[in-house]
Structure 1
Amino acid sequence: MQPLKGTNVLVRDGDIKRREAANRAYLMKLSSDNLLLNYRVEAGRFHERVVPPDAHGGWESPVCQLRGHFLGHWLSAAALHYEETGDRELKAKLDDIIDELAACQQDNGGQWIGPIPEKYLHWIAIGRSVWAPQYNLHKLLMGLVDAHRYAGSEQALTIADRFADWFVDWSGRYTREQFDDILDVETGGMLEAWADLLQLTGHDKYNTLLERYNRNRLFEPLLVGRDPLTNMHANTTIPEVLGCARAYEVTGEPRWMAIVEAYWRCAVTDRGALATGGQTAGEVWMPKQKMKARLGDKNQEHCTVYNMIRLAEFLFRHSGDPAYMQYIEYNLYNGIMAQAYYREYGLTGNTHNHPSTGLLTYFLPMKAGLRKDWSTETDSFFCCHGTMVQANAAWNQGLYYVKDDRVYVCQYFDSEMKAAIGDAQVRIRQTQDRMSGSLLDSSNTAGQHTINDMTAKHENMPDYRKHDFTVTVSEPHAFELRLRIPDWVQAEAQVYVNGELHGATASSEQFYAIRRTWQDGDRVSLLLPIGIRFIPLPDDASMGAFRYGPDVLAGICEAERILHVDSEDIASEIELENEREWGSWRYFFKTAEQDPAIQLRRIRDIGYEPYQIYFKVKRRG
């Protein structure tokens, strides 16, 4: 199955475009001098006596052992954005940075290009404590590979290939047992980098590196069905298994795929997930089906969300199972969108002293009464800064796929795709019909009020989402359109073709298929019944969270609240309020029978307020 991306998919969703624009502005705002500082220092190309006053802080500080890691993420994000948009200004900045990296590599002797000294890796071998140097260096290798793959930089590939020579020499000095000890210190995605470079260059040295970086101490327990993950650092192993996924694609060896599938079973299928889609607390995997005691201040690290989305996407491409896309949907709405590029969902009269925007939160706390802890632009630079710029660089990925004469629609955002299906060019434009009947967006446009039937038909918020797909072909052409049915639908989804009912289904286990000879202008409408569901914890059915469609709801609470209910239908305790503003439906919720009532918002609309996601529910009487 082939993903559609780059210029083949155009995103039109307003909020996604806002996030991409904010991400692009952030990439441009960070100066090249500051991004390159640690590389220049290491190469002897920085000649000042003091650290520049505007130098990046946090993990990018020149005295931090993980310094320089962010530049690799920056290169990757810039390349991804360029592939999608052709942004020449960003491409010029990327090329200038790569030119300077080439000069640093030359001054380092022709191989080493790290922002840290080589001795950090020698320290690992002798057991001296040092903060994850291979994790750090992988980021640069990843960024160089992506700069070549998505932005066409041959120089980036040359730098990476020469850097790999250093690792061939260094890793060859140790026995298998000694190097296994080295691999027990976080390596990040080194395995994935070697697989990428094997595909790009064909050089046999990368087969050697794949073998050396094969972490059997993790992989073998997975293959025999043991659980080596519980209470272990999650984002150490996810990149390693992403390396297995890439190695499978490059080499075709079945063992690599077997490791990936075993990992997913252990990490997701057998473990379960929070209502948001996450499975971690304090950066480690929670116990299988036991999450109540782990609702804390450090749930759902952003890096794990991003990397598990990548793993799910790989498994979808090789299986076609829509369950992986469902996993991605929950993590997009309640992870990627909830933890970065926040913009206040305004409420007139709600006076406060908080900023109206937020950049990034490392974790998404699940303990009642806590808040998102927003980072700064230049003084934080923890690991999630890197996955943030990658996750928001190209939102047009993961929406559409093609296999033979079948087009798969996997996520529902306003967008447009084009693809060659057989000997024909096909375009499909996806739009969400908000069913508001009005174009009013402020009091300034009150004069624009065309009378229509829609405003009367939907007096209140519709209980279904409607997505329309318009097909453009130059001449009649046969192909199959496949639509994913989310597992959050409240009843059967209905599919209409040119206004006539084609079918209905509530099954999320397979795509809904429409095979026909399509005419130019044919229109498909997908109606997805939406409502509120109570999602209990796997280890306590009386404690759970509420979801509205794919969105997890959070109550605004200074301290933990217990819900007292009369009905067996716990979800009926939550109702919409303040649902309309001018021509738009709005997403404010509240409890129906609590005293005082609890206001709820979508977790992606929560900024600086204290909140509660999981509620204990007790029966009255």
Structure 2
Amino acid sequence: MSENLSRRTFLKSSAAVAAAGVVAPRTFGLSAAASHGGATRLGQLGYGEVELLEGPMLAQFQANHAFFLALDEDALLKPFRERAGLPAPGPQMGGWYNFSKEFDPPNNMTGYIPGHSFGQYLSGLARAYAATGDQPTKAKVHRLVRGFAEAVSPKFYDDYPLPCYTFDKSNCGLIDAHQFAGDPNALHALSRALDAVMPYLPSHALTRPEMAARPHPNIAFTWDESYTLPENFFLAYKRSGDEKYLVMAQRFLQDKSYFDPLAEGDNVLPHQHAYSHVNALNSASQAYLVLGSEKHLRAARNGFQFVLDQSFATGGWGPNETFVEPGSGGLYKSLTETHASFETPCGAYGHFKVTRYLMRITGDSRYGDSMEQVLYNTILGAMPLEQGGFSFYYSDYNNYAAKNYYPEQWPCCSGTFPQVTADYGISSYFHSPEGLYVNLFVPSRAKFQIGGARFSLEQRTHYPYENDIAMQVRGDNPQTFSIALRVPAWAGKGTSITVNGRKAEAEVKPGTFVRLHREWKDGDRIEYSIDRPLSLQPVDAQHPDTVALRSGPLALMAINSPRSRFTRAQLLAAAQQGRAWRVESAVAPVTFKSFPRIRHENYRLYHDVMA
């Protein structure tokens, strides 16, 4: 990372958690102190209430789960033990993860932020346990929490460039270990970790220029992200009931320079570090959910819309980790100026969180459209983690693009990758008093209750490469409720729904949820066919003839053909052949693929169309 590439409460005590062994993941209750929080239209299912079935999302989740379950625990704890003066057995993980005398930013990033991703790995494992019930995973989470608690020391942050950044990850991991893996010691460890970092925290959220104006031994000390702290402080308050976390959350809300102008519709994103400022929108969402702050909800909604307004056809954003100036043609320029087009695991993680928050609050299906776009065109195409911590970091939308691993071991994206894949299930379904909302069309099974009766809904599909999604309802006894299906805003006129072989009476309107309200009984079937028209999406308003080809939610990329030229008619006549598309050109036919189907080929996303 260079200078330009920088970055309610549970009503149960810890004793009750220890006795229970695990906190039920479906419990999302606010404490009395936070009962004035903002209203939501939809609720979130628990990790254990959604089961991914065979398909690419399950495969990616399982690969990440296995990878982090196998990591050496002593190696993970080594930087914390070393700074605490404790015996620190185990190998060095290297890269960003261990202290190193070689650290010389931005020339040598070895030893950049030791232990930075520990909390994210812990979080990913805790969520994986909640989703699978795997006992070795739970045991590993508990051992890691115990080891971390023993090594908590203020000395860890001596001469440490990003104390806010790393503590925020530890906070997330510990509160997830408490809630999702029932660890009885996690909240105590968090309290000690907060005490340790307090002397190193600023008095309030600082912007990057404010960080740069302070004395600093090297440039890395100007990259800390205090403005992302509130989200996990709010969650720590909701899960523990400890008011100190609520105080800290409010202390670090970046109102003056970020949320206040965003709430008024002032786009202050240009030139900001992209991922961390999208992640900060999650803090604004939590400020609404906990405090009932309408200002922060406006900030989150407006800010996210500004992000969408300068997104690529893939849903990715932030070339060179920076938002561009509106009207500047900056996205177009990036096609030849950088290969760091979208910070993929980190960006997808932040994107999934803010779309889940905003969908829960508003019930607007278009947030699901955006999540789906990022799912199929960015994160689902991320290359798997390699031994030694080599990670897929940037999606490349350059005119001469390829997939590559980040050169440094254990970068930030190695931490968000297991978190976002563990969240696939909870991103796929929501619920309300009306019934179940189906957001993502993926092979999966959701369990829910209606009127005291237990139900499940199972999806089988090869979407988005095929139109059809088959759903089957299972239940104890008949109940009347709604099953709401997201109708993508781009859905074509051929989109249709049948129930038990008969056309559904509800109106299928793109950009909404269609509600199928009836008495549902065991064995009922829904057949949902989503018409996936071809479309062309310009890179930006300044360059309407530089376009990407899309099929429904999929952005399609030309394979090994960087100089091919097409007309609009040729692109819109693309013929699907299995899970690829064939496009005619003046020279020869060109194969187009979706991002997850690309391996080692060169590819091109955008094309200058001829008259």
Fold conserved between structures, TM > 0.5: yes
Please state how far the C-alpha of 1:175 moved relative to its aligned partner: 8.6
From 158, 161, 186, give the equivalent of 1:156: 186
Query: Conserved in 1, the CA contact under 8 Å of 2:402 and 2:600?
Result: yes
In structure 2, give the amino acid aligned to 1:555: A
Please state how far the C-alpha of 1:86 moved relative to its aligned partner: 0.7
Q: Determine whether 1:56 maps to 2:93.
A: yes
2:554 — aligned with what?
551
Please state how far the C-alpha of 1:531 moved relative to its aligned partner: 4.1
Q: Specify the SS of the correspondent of 1:600.
A: strand
Q: Deviations over 1:527-567 (max 9, x none)?
A: 11224322222322211111222222111236x324233xx
1:230 — aligned with what?
270
Q: Determine whether 1:587 maps to 2:572.
A: no
1:438 — aligned with what?
none
Q: Specify the SS of the correspondent of 1:471.
A: strand
Cα 1:606–1:133, aligned 2, differ >3 Å: closer, same or farther?
same
Moved more, 77-86 or 388-397: 388-397
2:595 — aligned with what?
603
Query: What TM-score, normalized to structure 2?
Result: 0.83
Please state how far the C-alpha of 1:614 moved relative to its aligned partner: 0.5
In structure 2, give the amino acid aligned to 1:255: K
Q: Determine whether 1:213 maps to 2:252.
A: yes
Cα 1:520–1:368, aligned 2, differ >3 Å: closer, same or farther?
same
Please state how far the C-alpha of 1:507 moved relative to its aligned partner: 2.5
Q: Specify the SS of the correspondent of 1:475.
A: coil
Residues of 2 paired with 1:371 and 1:178: CA distance? 34
Q: Deviations over 1:169-221 (max 9, x none)?
A: 6658x599999946984226321222122222323322332232122222222
From 519, 523, 536, give the equivalent of 2:521: 519
In structure 2, give the amino acid aligned to 1:78: L
Please state how far the C-alpha of 1:237 moved relative to its aligned partner: 1.6
Q: Determine whether 1:72 maps to 2:114.
A: no
Q: Specify the SS of the correspondent of 1:242.
A: helix
Q: Specify the SS of the correspondent of 2:422.
A: coil
Q: Deviations over 1:387-423 (max 9, x none)?
A: 1111122421111111002211111011111111123
Q: Determine whether 1:298 maps to 2:340.
A: yes
Cα 1:272–1:428, aligned 2, differ >3 Å: closer, same or farther?
same
Residues of 2 paired with 1:500 and 1:175: CA distance? 59
Please state how far the C-alpha of 1:594 moved relative to its aligned partner: 3.4
Q: Determine whether 1:569 maps to 2:565.
A: no
1:282 — aligned with what?
320
From 512, 535, 538, give the equivalent of 1:536: 538
Aligned length: 541
Residues 131-210 of structure 1: pairs in structure 2 closer than 5 A: 132-167=162-197, 181=210, 185-187=224-226, 189-210=228-249
Query: Conserved in 2, the CA contact under 8 Å of 1:368 and 1:557?
Result: no
Residues of 2 paired with 1:94 and 1:397: CA distance? 20
Moved more, 309-318 or 217-226: 217-226
1:403 — aligned with what?
432
Residues of 2 paired with 1:463 and 1:267: CA distance? 27
In structure 1, give the amino acid aligned to 2:64: N
Q: Specify the SS of the correspondent of 2:276.
A: helix
Residues of 2 paired with 1:179 and 1:562: CA distance? 42
In structure 2, give the amino acid aligned to 1:59: W
From 594, 599, 605, give the equivalent of 1:613: 605
Query: Conserved in 2, the CA contact under 8 Å of 1:483 and 1:513?
Result: yes
Query: Conserved in 2, the CA contact under 8 Å of 1:171 and 1:212?
Result: no
1:440 — aligned with what?
none
2:105 — aligned with what?
none
From 391, 396, 406, give the equivalent of 1:365: 396
2:299 — aligned with what?
259
Q: Specify the SS of the correspondent of 2:544.
A: strand
Residues of 1 paired with 2:207 and 2:391: CA distance? 39
From 312, 333, 351, give the equivalent of 2:355: 312
- RMSD of the alignment, in Å? 2.7
Residues of 2 paired with 1:207 and 1:537: CA distance? 42
Structure number, greater radius of gyration: 1
Residues of 2 paired with 1:196 and 1:9: CA distance? 22
Residues of 2 paired with 1:392 and 1:367: CA distance? 26
Query: Conserved in 2, the CA contact under 8 Å of 1:494 and 1:505?
Result: no
Query: Conserved in 2, the CA contact under 8 Å of 1:410 and 1:484?
Result: yes
2:47 — aligned with what?
6
Q: Deviations over 1:82-121 (max 9, x none)?
A: 000011111111111111111112xx3xxx4x8x42443x
Could you tell me which runs of 5 or more consecutive residues in structure 1 were left unpaired when the two chains were aligned. Answer: 121-129, 343-354, 435-461, 580-585
Q: Specify the SS of the correspondent of 2:384.
A: strand
Cα 1:433–1:382, aligned 2, differ >3 Å: closer, same or farther?
closer
Residues of 2 paired with 1:178 and 1:613: CA distance? 34
1:125 — aligned with what?
none
Moved more, 276-285 or 174-183: 174-183
Query: Conserved in 1, the CA contact under 8 Å of 2:490 and 2:511?
Result: no
1:387 — aligned with what?
416
Residues of 2 paired with 1:18 and 1:409: CA distance? 21
Q: Specify the SS of the correspondent of 1:97.
A: helix
